[in-house]
């Protein structure tokens, strides 16, 4: 089973948007204690991106091997 390139690009763009949102929410608004704050949003967004992207790539690998249905198969 093949996963389309547009689906992978959609996941990457979604992860980028989500990582910048999470970086702004947690690292920019003062929710975290002072000792855990990261002053550089790029670093915070990169860390969030790596976490989210690794989870999404695991889901894509499950879909590519057939252990998890894709959205096209569900709908």
Q: Kindly report which listed range (11-15, 27-31, 40-44, 59-63) carries the lowest average pLDDT score.
A: 27-31
* Percentage with pLDDT > 70 across the chain: 68
Per-residue pLDDT tens over the stretch 31-52: 555 655 566 667 777 777 788 8
Q: Based on the structure, what is the number of domains in the chain? A: 1
Q: Rounded CA gap, 29 and 5, in Å? A: 35
Give the residue among 69, 64, 20, 16 at the shortest CA–CA distance from 41: 20
**pLDDT of 70 strictly over 80:** no
- Structural domain boundaries enclosing 38: 5-74
Q: What is the pLDDT of residue 8?
A: 75
**pLDDT of 12 strictly over 70:** yes
Query: What is the radius of gyration, based on Cα positions, of the chain?
Result: 16
């Amino acid at each position: 089973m093949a996963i389309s390139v547009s689906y992978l690009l959609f996941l990457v763009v979604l992860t980028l948007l989500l990582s910048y949102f999470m970086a702004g929410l947690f690292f920019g608004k003062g929710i975290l204690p002072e000792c855990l704050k990261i002053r550089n949003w790029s670093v915070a967004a990169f860390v969030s991106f790596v976490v989210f992207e690794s989870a999404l790539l695991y889901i894509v690998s499950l879909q590519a091997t057939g252990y998890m249905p894709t959205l096209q198969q569900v709908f």
